[in-house]
A and B are shown apart, each in its own frame.
Chain A
Amino acid sequence: DAGVIQSPRHEVTEMGQEVTLRCKPISGHNSLFWYRQTMMRGLELLIYFNNNVPIDDSGMPEDRFSAKMPNASFSTLKIQPSEPRDSAVYFCASSPGTGDTQYFGPGTRLTVL
């Protein structure tokens, strides 16, 4: 298995632009997680899905952030409009089920100018 795949690996955009981050979880995994990592706040859980259904989005910072999982093999995290404070590394992770080991993707480094 190729592991969790994220794209793009790097994204540089200007304030106000829409940003879409993509994730392909490991085949057969039922849970998918989106995290954000910054030096100041560490690793924060934004949202997680179980069987394609959002279970907990309490970590989503504000309405500018939205996430979807239209099927078991694809998820997106969208920021619209983006702001400089959104600059961070965004990780997607998947696991066979809730409470299991999570397998992380390589991350997307987002820079908002």
Chain B
Amino acid sequence: SQQGEEDPQALSIQEGENATMNCSYKTSINNLQWYRQNSGRGLVHLILIRSNEREKHSGRLRVTLDTSKKSSSLLITASRAADTASYFCATDGSNYKLTFGKGTLLTVNP
């Protein structure tokens, strides 16, 4: 079954605005990861947050994790046109397989 589910499916914002994407999952996890995919390219790892962490930052990215609600959010601050891409969350369970959601398509308009 699909583990991570991103919300919204698509998001369109203006350059300079913040973008928030959410991810919900169903079973317990070891960690949760966020990836980015530009059109026609492979996925690129952005950030990993472990199950015992609540928040993590990397540059303009901020990820939160609430294991009680089985949810995570990815915040991109001061967005740029180059941030236009699909963003996926991925969770791993006891078998260490990553299960990806269907992604959020972010469009940042210049």
Contact = CB atoms under 8 A, between A and B. Distances in A.
Contact of A99 (B35, B88, B96): B96
Given A43-B88, A45-B97, A45-B98, A101 B48 contact: yes
Interface in B37-52: 41-45, 48
Nearest to B6: A42
A contact residues, range? 10 to 19
A105 B44 CA distance: 9
A42 to B, nearest CB: 4
Nearest to B2: A42
A99 B31 contact: yes
A103 B103 CA distance: 18
A105 B45 CA distance: 12
**Most chain A beta-carbon neighbours within 10 Å: one of B44, B48, B95, B97:** B97
Contacts of B97: 45, 48, 56
B43 A106 contact: no
Contacts of B102: 42-43
Given A99-B92, A101-B33, A101-B48, A91 B100 contact: no
**Most chain A beta-carbon neighbours within 10 Å: one of B35, B44, B92, B96:** B96
Contact of B42 (A42, A48, A56, A106): A106
B42 A105 contact: yes
Contacts of B2: 42
A33 B95 CA distance: 14
Contacts of B42: 4, 91, 93, 104-107
Interface of B: 2, 30-31, 33, 35, 41-45, 48, 88, 92, 95-103
17 contacts: A42-B2, A42-B100, A42-B102, A42-B103, A43-B88, A43-B100, A45-B98, A91-B43, A93-B42, A98-B96, A101-B33, A101-B45, A102-B43, A103-B45, A104-B43, A105-B42, A106-B41
Interface of A: 4, 33, 42-43, 45, 48, 56, 91, 93, 98-99, 101-107
